[in-house]
Amino acid sequence: MTANAPASIIPYNAVNTKSSRTFERQAEYAPEDFHDHLFELEAEGEWIVQRVPEPYVEVMTKFGRKKKIPLELTWHHKSCGQCGHIPGYSTAIFWLNRKLNFKYIDPTDQTSCTAWNYYASATSNAPAQAGVAMRNFAAAYETGYFPLIHCGTSYGHYKEVREEMMHHAEMRHQVRDVMKKLGKPLVMPEEIVHYSEWIHAVRDRIAALQTRDFSNLAVTVHPACHYYKLVQEDAIYDPDIYGGQRTATVSALIVALGAQVRDYSTWFDCCGFGFRHILVQRDFTRSFATRRKIQVMKQEANPDVVITHDTGCVTTLDKSQFVGAAHGLDVGVPVMSDAQFAALAMGAHPYRVCQLHWHSTEYRPLLEKMGIDHEKAWAEFQEDLKDLKSGKKEYLTWEDVDA
Amino acid sequence: MGLFADKYPDVPYEEKSRLWEQVKADPRFPTYLYGCYECGICVAACPSARFYDFSPRKIAQAAAREDIELIFEQMNDDVWNCSQCFSCNRCPRQNSPGGIITVLREVSVKNGLKSAKQALEGYSRIIYKIMGTGTQVSPDMLQPDAFPDWGPQVRAVSADLDVWRRALPPETLHTTSTGWQVDDKTIIELYLIWHHTGVMDMIAEVDEGLHMILNDVMEEKLEEAGYEA
């Protein structure tokens, strides 16, 4: 128990990813397997199904079905918030691919899924949203690489689009006509894959290359709503993680890296992002993030770090803590993505790769606990900035990072 | 007539009914509502219900009863409080109150409701960014006056933004006014999607000024590429 924790809370050392309960999956509750319809429509000439390239790993999803996760030949569908405001997130995903020697494409023929705006303002409609999705899918298909979706909202929204395109012929034909005007085929991927599912699938490979000991780290996990609540059936579940009753994505990685996953009572709660709220009504976002998430984690689990797997969650949980601290709330936990956490475990530079200087909440004590000399790392990065400012270098390159 | 006093008696019942018919006509609507037995699981899971006078259960109930007046009230007073997290999808009846709200919001925007215009005040620059550039947020939005509540770190980012962006190893991330580098051809394809799916008409309903600016930007690029806007 933490020193200030109330007596009634769940003792954190009594709960982690292990469950004593057994859980039998009941097939009668499973929704239809979308693959059947996907391939039927392909057989009818309605669209092309882009197959998951080999080699792939099969993982279990919510109702016990298998999902194929490609290891490489991935087309990285980047995220607005990651690239714009927390770029160490995307950089870490690419760095992991490079370290694992996997071929990938970081495309410029890619737009946002535009779903953040759609959920915030409703200034779009279902056919337009499907059009944006299908344009990106077609762009990936033209390269021969398979889409890997960085954003949790893009991932959830694209699955909504898949449902709508499968079941509403009129909308499918409207979008097909728009694609014809763009000179593009109508393509649906065999699976819609989130990058954190890829990390889940390669977590043992990541652990095999781990150079930093994380066994003294306590971690709380925040699962992203649009990952596992929005079109739920193909999120990853694993009987060895939470007894298969909560999504295993992220938590299984933490376990593989030897850190301790600590539970807390508001695990299922949203972060408070709110789409429109984070941009124009942040009083709600700040209150929810600090009072329902960070403060509860602190009091019940006292973690060294919060690990999550979506753009909005990292931003909300990290940036909201400044005001919470000013108001004397019990906050002050660094927040990062599973990709950044995995990269740090594999020896990545905290600034050149993980770009932690873009994050707000104090993270240096965490780096010390990881055995990272952050002062030395910061001095190295300052030298990089000096070279960029003086014109000695135009950009920091992957070669610089690997040097 | 509904169970509650009509909060908008000046708006004719026929108009409220017309909007409701548009909601029901959305092809997604039947998969968002199967019936509600008022268990309240959606409310327990809902972040907005904790901080606002807001209830996803009431949304499902009003829709199931087809309470035209209450639905109109919700379209004006409630729907913009929703976080769109879809925590309410835990509904044991497979309802999606969040999905119903998506449709209610869309109909509000399409019909230029005053409440929709008010909800989107201050949001125009975001719509301009996403529709005009293909990425929703950009590094140069991180300005201390825009995010005073995010603390002094925002000042540090904005002070050295260009250099910090050039210190990113992925080549696509050296941009400051877009999240990543997007090809011109890609942007033009996005503009064509907006034009061919009625999105520009929706923008005109809620923000004429923004519509004019976006149209100018798009027309020029589309004409250059040989398309008719």
Q: What is the pLDDT of residues A208-260, one digit of tens each?
A: 999 999 999 999 999 999 999 999 999 999 999 998 999 999 999 999 999 99
The interface residues of chain B toward chain A in range 61-100, judged by CB-CB distance below 8 A, are: 80, 83-87, 89-90
In this structure, the answer to whether residues A181 and A310 fall within a common structural domain is: no
What values do phi and psi take at B228, rounded to 5?
-95, 125
To the nearest whole Å, the CA of A116 is away from the closest chain B CA by 7
In this structure, the answer to whether residues A166 and A232 fall within a common structural domain is: no
To the nearest whole Å, the CA of B85 is away from the closest chain A CA by 6
Write the residue in B123, B170, B198 that is nearest to A106 by C-beta.
B170
What's the rounded Cα separation, in Å, for the pair A35 and A190?
7
Contact A352 B169 (CB under 8 A): yes
In this structure, the answer to whether residues A161 and A221 fall within a common structural domain is: no
Would you call B144 helix, strand, or coil by DSSP? coil
What are the Cα distances from residue A161, in Å, to A125, A158, A165? 11, 5, 6
Set of chain B residues whose Cβ sits within 8 Å of the Cβ of A95: 169
Question: To the nearest 10°, the Cα dihedral for B116, B119, B124, B130?
Answer: -80
In this structure, the answer to whether residues A187 and A266 fall within a common structural domain is: no
What is the pTM assigned to this prediction?
A: 0.96
Hey, where are the domains in chain B?
A: 13-118, 124-224
Domain of residue A265, residue span: 211-379
Per-residue model confidence (pLDDT) at position B217: 93
What's the rounded Cα separation, in Å, for the pair A179 and A138?
9
Set of chain B residues whose Cβ sits within 8 Å of the Cβ of A279: 123, 126
Contacts 24+ apart (CB under 8 A), B151-158: B151/A319, B151/A322, B151/A323, B151/A360, B153/A322, B153/A358, B153/A359, B153/A360, B154/A360, B156/A357, B157/A358
Per-residue model confidence (pLDDT) at position B1: 55
What's the rounded Cα separation, in Å, for the pair A101 and A19?
36
What's the rounded Cα separation, in Å, for the pair A135 and A266?
38
- CATH number at B13-118: 1.10.1060.10
Set of chain B residues whose Cβ sits within 8 Å of the Cβ of A284: 48, 51-52, 83
Per-residue model confidence (pLDDT) at position A38: 98
What's the rounded Cα separation, in Å, for the pair A291 and A297?
10
In this structure, the answer to whether residues A367 and A225 fall within a common structural domain is: yes
Query: B156 and B100 in contact (C-beta within 8 Å)?
Result: no
What's the rounded Cα separation, in Å, for the pair B57 and B44?
10
In this structure, the answer to whether residues A190 and A261 fall within a common structural domain is: no
How many domains in chain A? 2
Would you call A57 helix, strand, or coil by DSSP? strand
Average of per-residue pLDDT across B84-94 = 96
Number of Cα atoms under 13 Å in the Cβ half of residue A323: 18
The verdict on residue A338 lying in a domain is: yes
Burial of A55 (0-12, 13-18, 19+ CB in 10 A): exposed
Would you call A132 helix, strand, or coil by DSSP? helix
In this structure, the answer to whether residues A173 and A226 fall within a common structural domain is: no
Average of per-residue pLDDT across B193-215 = 96
* Domain CATH for A337: 3.40.50.11810
Nearest Cα residue in chain A from B112? A123
Contacts 24+ apart (CB under 8 A), B147-154: B147/A319, B149/A282, B149/A286, B149/A319, B149/A322, B149/A323, B150/A319, B150/A322, B150/A360, B151/A319, B151/A322, B151/A323, B151/A360, B153/A322, B153/A358, B153/A359, B153/A360, B154/A360
Contact B106 A125 (CB under 8 A): yes
User: Which tens digits make up the pLDDT trace of A191-211?
Assistant: 999 999 999 999 999 999 999
Q: Over 80: is that where the pLDDT of A5 sits?
A: no
The two beta strands, A146-149 and A104-105, are unpaired
Question: To the nearest 10°, the Cα dihedral for B72, B74, A164, B26?
Answer: 0
* Domain CATH for A69: 1.20.1050.140
Q: Which residues contact B118 (CB under 8 A, 6 or more apart)?
A: none
Q: Which two tokens stand for residue B172?
A: 């696509």
Set of chain B residues whose Cβ sits within 8 Å of the Cβ of A313: none
Write the residue in B166, B169, B170 that is nearest to A388 by C-beta.
B166
In this structure, the answer to whether residues A179 and A259 fall within a common structural domain is: no
On whether any CB of chain A is under 8 Å from the CB of B173, the answer is yes
In this structure, the answer to whether residues A231 and A174 fall within a common structural domain is: no
Average of per-residue pLDDT across A139-165 = 98
What's the rounded Cα separation, in Å, for the pair A397 and A298?
38
Q: Which residues contact B63 (CB under 8 A, 6 or more apart)?
A: B23, B33, B71, B100
Contact A276 B190 (CB under 8 A): no
Domain final residue pick, A147, A163, A195: A195
What's the rounded Cα separation, in Å, for the pair A23 and A121?
40
Per-residue model confidence (pLDDT) at position A18: 74
Per-residue model confidence (pLDDT) at position B229: 60
Contact A276 B80 (CB under 8 A): yes
Strand locations in A61-189 (E) = 66-70, 74-77, 104-105, 146-149, 187-189
Set of chain A residues whose Cβ sits within 8 Å of the Cβ of B226: none
Please state, as a whole number, how many other Cβ atoms lie within 10 Å of the Cβ of residue A73: 19
Burial of A357 (0-12, 13-18, 19+ CB in 10 A): middle
Q: Which two tokens stand for residue B8?
A: 């908008």
In this structure, the answer to whether residues A157 and A108 fall within a common structural domain is: yes
Would you call A56 helix, strand, or coil by DSSP? strand
With b for 16 or more beta-carbon neighbours within 10 A and e for fewer, the A362-395 pattern comes to: ebeebbeebebebeebbeebeebbebbeeeebeb
What's the rounded Cα separation, in Å, for the pair A334 and A302?
12
Q: Over 60: is that where the pLDDT of B6 sits?
A: yes
In this structure, the answer to whether residues A67 and A169 fall within a common structural domain is: yes
Q: Over 50: is that where the pLDDT of A4 sits?
A: no
Beta bridge partners of A188: A49
What's the rounded Cα separation, in Å, for the pair A201 and A338?
13
Cα A211 off chain centre by: 23
- % residues pLDDT > 70 (chain B): 98
Q: Over 90: is that where the pLDDT of B3 sits?
A: no
Nearest Cα residue in chain A from B174? A395
Band of pLDDT at residue A3, cut at 50, 70 and 90: very low
Nearest Cα residue in chain B from A397? B169
What's the rounded Cα separation, in Å, for the pair A227 and A83?
19
To the nearest whole Å, the CA of B71 is away from the closest chain A CA by 17
The verdict on residue A203 lying in a domain is: no
Set of chain B residues whose Cβ sits within 8 Å of the Cβ of A177: 196
On whether any CB of chain A is under 8 Å from the CB of B153, the answer is yes
Q: Which among A111, A118, A227, A329 is the top mutation candidate for probing chain B, defined by the most B β-carbons within 10 Å of its own β-carbon?
A: A111
- Listed residue (B227, B186, B183, B218) closest to B200, CA to CA: B218
Contact B179 A112 (CB under 8 A): yes
Contact B27 A225 (CB under 8 A): no
In this structure, the answer to whether residues A191 and A217 fall within a common structural domain is: no
The two beta strands, A74-77 and A305-308, are unpaired
What's the rounded Cα separation, in Å, for the pair A231 and A158?
10
Weakest-pLDDT range from A27-36, B37-46, B123-132, B142-151: A27-36
Average of per-residue pLDDT across A367-387 = 98
Q: Which two tokens stand for residue B4?
A: 């509650």
Band of pLDDT at residue A403, cut at 50, 70 and 90: confident
